């Protein structure tokens, strides 16, 4: 495990231990810190031509790989609120509606800390917006997050499995979408 305390952050004791793959505990001062799962969202966006819109990551982890728009849920924010916010932040456009499809666990290594996440995925709908062009052409990527957007026609599971997708959870969500939702 890369997330390791050697010294208690409260009393500076060296007796801190990691217990049951769940929490750190210091017997000297009673400090507990639970290693809870972080929550995030992702959006599968189907463009007007039936392609899936991916973004190419601008930063680590997995810089340069493909992913779907999304990110971590903020404090006091629902998954649905985060999905709308993340879509707007990363693409410059807000969906008319979203629909929950599935959640998958993920591992997110960042700056020598390994975060375990539960990633919730939604489809994004833009049908009420009067779009006369491809949705991808309207997107303006958040520079700190997105290098560019790419549209990919998905016709079989093998295509999804062979794409350079940054996170297993996004790949699993796309496979689930392909098997259960794609029309």
d(CA 175, CA 96): 24
* 135 vs 28, more confident: 28
Q: Among residues 112, 94, 116, which one has the least CA distance to residue 103?
A: 116
For the cut 70, the answer to whether the pLDDT of residue 36 exceeds it is yes
Mean pLDDT to the nearest integer, 122-144: 86
**Using an 8 Å Cβ cutoff, are 33 and 17 in contact?**
no
Q: Identify the weakest region by mean pLDDT among 3-17, 67-81, 120-134, 139-153.
A: 120-134
**Domains of the chain, residue spans:** 1-36, 38-180
pTM: predicted TM-score of the whole model, two decimal places: 0.89
Pick the CATH number of 38-180 from 3.30.70.270, 3.40.50.970, 3.90.79.10, 3.40.605.10: 3.90.79.10
Other CB atoms within 10 A of residue 86 CB? 24
Q: What are phi and psi of 151, to 5 degrees?
A: -100, 130
* pLDDT given for residue 163 in this prediction: 97
CA–CA–CA angle 64, 43, 146 (5° rounding): 30
């Amino acid at each position: 495990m890369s997330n390791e305390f050697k010294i208690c952050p409260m009393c500076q004791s060296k007796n801190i231990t990691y217990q049951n793959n769940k929490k750190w505990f210091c017997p000297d001062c009673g400090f507990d810190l639970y290693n809870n799962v972080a929550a995030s969202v992702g959006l599968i966006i189907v463009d007007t031509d039936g392609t899936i819109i991916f973004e190419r990551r601008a930063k680590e982890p997995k810089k340069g790989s493909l992913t779907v728009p999304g990110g971590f849920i903020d404090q006091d924010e629902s998954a649905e609120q985060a999905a709308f916010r993340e879509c707007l932040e990363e693409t410059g456009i807000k969906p008319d509606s979203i629909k929950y499809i599935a959640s998958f666990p993920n591992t997110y290594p960042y700056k020598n800390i390994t975060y375990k996440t539960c990633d919730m995925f939604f489809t994004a709908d833009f049908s009420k917006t009067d779009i006369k062009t491809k949705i991808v052409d309207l997107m303006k990527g958040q520079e700190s997050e997105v290098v560019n957007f790419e549209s990919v026609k998905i016709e079989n599971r093998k295509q999804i499995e062979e794409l350079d997708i940054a996170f297993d959870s996004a790949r699993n969500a796309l496979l689930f979408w392909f098997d259960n939702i794609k029309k």
